[in-house]
Each structure stands twice: as C-alpha cells, then as structure tokens.
Amino acid sequence: MASGNPVHGAQARSIGLGARSQLHRQDRAGASELIARRLSGLTEFDGPRHVAGYWPVPGEVDLRGFWHQLHDAGVTVCLPRIDPTGSRSMEFRRWHPDCTMTDNRYGIPEPDGEPVSLECLDVVVLPCVALDDLGSRVGMGQGFYDRTLAGLAGLAPGRGPGHRPTTLIGVAFEVQRLRAPDVIVREDWDVPLDVVVTESAVLRPGA
C-alpha cells in the first residue's frame, strides 16, 4: 500500500458512519441520484449482461431506480442473499421489479430468484461505509462481500489470462471518502475496488 496516514477498519467505519449520519434525507436522495448518473455514464455499463447490486439499508446510497433502469435495458440484475443458516456466506440472485422479496435476519429485503454464479457477473456494485482513493473500502464489518469475492482478490479486471472478468465498483457519499494522505489499512482478505464513485468523483485506483 502507498504511504500515508493509516486508518484502520474500525476507525474508518466510525468516520464513515458518523459522516453519513450528518446528511439530511433530502441530501442523501439528491446525492444518490447523482451517483446513479455517474454510474450510468461509466463504460462498464455500456454492455454488461449481468450486474450485481444491493438493496439499501437506511442511510445508504439508494440505487433502486438505477436497478430498474438496467433491468428495463435488458440487463440481468442480481442482488445479494445471505445464508439463512447464520453463516457469513452470501450469493447473488436474479432480481426483477415484480419478484418476491423476503427480509433476511437483518431486515434487508432479498430476492427469491434463481442464483447466479460469481463468474457470470460483469459488474458488482458494492455499498461502502467508507472508502479511499486507493480503492480500499470498509463495510459494516460482517465480511459478507470479502468472503464472497475472495476468489477475485489479486486479479486485475479484464478478459485475458490472469485477469478477473468482474469489475468491482464501490459507491458512497463524498463525506464517506477518505482523502490523501489518509488511507484505509487493507487487510489480507480485503478485495480492492476497481472504481470508486461518489456524487462528486469517479476514481480508478488501478488505472
């Protein structure tokens, strides 16, 4: 990792949650719309067939309108579904506007559609509690995404040998973004982002 002021995961999470809590609901809604516009302008969305998103919890970037937009454009949209037995594993299942949604143990709606393998996903959009300009992120600390995406770690995005086919895009509000010289300490199991998107910026850390 590049040198800077190291911010460990728990501290970064506290910073991100605190900053997010200070945003008014209308500000979050407006910023979410701007983030959706920035996403729609990315080349990664020029022709993907399978995109994984997420259903927002209160306070998170709300991209539900963007999932509808992708679905209407013929993209297969998938949302997370955690293991109901209590483990910290997760899979992605097909979603469409009329599909049945069932709350998981955290009260987050999940689709009852058929599973989609990770290898089929062209893009995964991840919600972030905090992120930095180097593509490091922290979530709520349960590790669902890190465990699920562990097989992609260490591989660069792309389609050739030694490259991963899935692009990882992290979204958060600008106030949750740690700027240089602050950097989130990346643990061995953390999977770096290929693209960072807030309402104010689009960053490509590996470019």
28-34 long-range Cβ contacts below 8 angstroms, 24+ apart: 28/59, 28/61, 28/62, 28/173, 29/62, 30/199, 31/61, 31/173, 31/174, 31/198, 31/199, 32/61, 32/62, 32/63, 32/199, 33/65, 34/199, 34/200
Read off φ and ψ for residue 59, nearest 5 degrees.
100, -20
Confidence at residue 88, expressed as pLDDT on a 0 to 100 scale = 77
CA dihedral 4, 9, 14, 16 (to 10 degrees): 70
Orientation of helix 25-40 relative to helix 64-72, angle to 10°: 30
Sequential DSSP letters for 86-110: S-S-EEEEEE-TTS-EEE-TTS-EE
Closest-CA residue to 133 (of 32, 35, 204): 204
Confidence at residue 59, expressed as pLDDT on a 0 to 100 scale = 96
Class of domain 5-203: alpha beta
Find the angle CA(61)-CA(84)-CA(188) to the nearest 5 degrees. Answer: 65
Q: First vs last Cα of the chain: how many Å apart? A: 15
Confidence at residue 154, expressed as pLDDT on a 0 to 100 scale = 55
Confidence at residue 162, expressed as pLDDT on a 0 to 100 scale = 59
Q: What is the pLDDT of residues 106-117, one digit of tens each?
A: 999 999 999 999
Confidence at residue 47, expressed as pLDDT on a 0 to 100 scale = 87
Q: Are 123 and 70 in contact (CB under 8 A)?
A: no
The length of the chain in residues reads: 207
Give the residues of the chain that fall short of pLDDT 70. 1-3, 151-164
Q: Are 93 and 81 in contact (CB under 8 A)?
A: yes
